[in-house]
């Protein structure tokens, strides 16, 4: 049974921990509002960009003049998986869930005889993927020194990916990130960015007829690289909002758990102190009776 001093030290330690988790919760809450606004404000632009490119892609169809970013290389043998996670932990299962989805995709591709290359954005994703797929690593992007994510960061990542694609290092690129739903819900998501794919209903109004100058192919050739950067920027913003939401929830749970532990330790401390006092009284009474 722990002594009174040990119990008192444990109570003090847990109280200090609770102060830290409470402070981290408040910081995450303050960052979350800005991050959520940025992610939500970026969605309409990303959706409109996708709609425009989808309409142009439908016009171009399967013509021989279609850009490589749309038509692809004609093969899907080599896949680049871009795993985007946080730079820090203490956020529940946020990083682990993204890495789990990427690992599942990598395992499926390897089972099909495909070649897998991995690029990570965020230290936690690098650490998680390196344990099982270290031999497939191609690159890592460190954003730990970036205080506020901007479009220029997405452009740098997109430029690296596009250069690798032009050099023939891969055929298909897929990004993995967490889409922000709300504070307690972040959805791990996989999205193919090269070659560009569009879902049904994403195109602009097909009832209108547009004349393009220059040609649809030329416009697509210019828009598709921007679309890759836009998709990466939107994913970075979604990830940032998801990270802060997950961290706020995790620190809130940790704060409440610390409070419960303090209550239990305080009860145990009081019982132990009462037992010590009772034993001392018994000894005093027994000594007095012996006299």
Domain spanning 32-249, CATH class? alpha beta
The overall pTM is greater than 0.85: no
pLDDT of residue 62: 58
- The structure tokens listed for 196 are 């560009």
**pLDDT for the residue numbered 108:** 92
Q: Is 247 part of the annotated catalytic residue set? A: no
Catalytic residue among 14, 69, 91, 220: 91
pLDDT in tens, 192-221: 988 888 776 555 554 455 666 676 777 777
CATH 1.10.287.80 domain position(s) in the chain: 4-20+252-290
- Rounded to whole angstroms, how far apart are CA atoms 176 and 83? 5
Residue 1: exposed, middle, or buried by beta-carbon count in 10 A (0-12, 13-18, 19+)? exposed
pLDDT tens digits for 149-188? Answer: 888 889 899 999 999 998 888 999 999 999 988 888 888 9
- Ranges of residues in the chain with a pLDDT under 70 are 1, 60-65, 200-213, 215, 290-291
Instruction: Say which DSSP state 75 is in.
Output: -
Superfamily of domain 4-20+252-290: ATP synthase, gamma subunit, helix hairpin domain (1.10.287.80)
Q: Residue 207's pLDDT is what? A: 47
- Residue 268's contacts (CB-CB under 8 Å, 6 or more residues apart) are 7
Tokens encoding 204: 């602009």
DSSP 135-161: GGEEEEE--TT-SS--HHHHHHHHHHH
* All CATH 3.40.1380.10 domain ranges in the chain, comma separated: 32-249
- Predicted local distance difference test score (pLDDT) of residue 176: 94
């Amino acid at each position: 049974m722990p002594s009174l001093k040990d119990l008192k030290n444990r109570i003090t330690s847990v109280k200090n921990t609770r102060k830290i988790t409470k402070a981290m919760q408040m910081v995450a809450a303050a960052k979350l509002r800005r991050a959520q606004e940025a992610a939500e404000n970026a969605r309409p632009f990303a959706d409109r960009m996708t709609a425009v490119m989808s309409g142009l892609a439908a016009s171009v169809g399967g013509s021989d003049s279609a850009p490589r970013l749309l038509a692809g290389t004609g093969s899907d043998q080599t896949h680049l998986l871009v795993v985007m996670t946080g730079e820090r932990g203490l956020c529940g299962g946020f990083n682990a869930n993204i890495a789990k989805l990427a690992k599942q995709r990598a395992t499926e591709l390897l089972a099909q005889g495909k070649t897998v290359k991995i690029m990570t954005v965020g230290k936690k994703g690098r650490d998680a993927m390196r344990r099982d797929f270290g031999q497939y690593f191609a690159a890592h992007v460190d954003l730990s020194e970036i205080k506020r994510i901007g479009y220029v960061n997405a452009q740098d990542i997109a430029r690296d990916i596009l250069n690798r694609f032009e050099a023939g290092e891969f055929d298909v690129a897929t990004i993995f990130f967490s889409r922000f739903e709300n504070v307690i819900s972040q959805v791990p998501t996989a999205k193919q960015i090269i070659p560009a794919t569009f879902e049904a209903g994403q195109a602009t109004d097909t009832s209108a007829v547009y004349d393009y100058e220059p040609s649809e192919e030329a416009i697509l050739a210019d828009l598709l690289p921007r679309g890759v950067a836009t998709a990466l920027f939107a994913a970075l913003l979604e990830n940032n909002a998801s990270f802060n939401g997950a961290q706020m929830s995790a620190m809130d749970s940790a704060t409440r758990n610390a409070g419960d532990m303090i209550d239990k330790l305080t009860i145990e401390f009081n019982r132990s102190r009462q037992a010590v006092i009772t034993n001392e009284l018994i000894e005093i009474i027994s000594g007095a009776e012996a006299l």
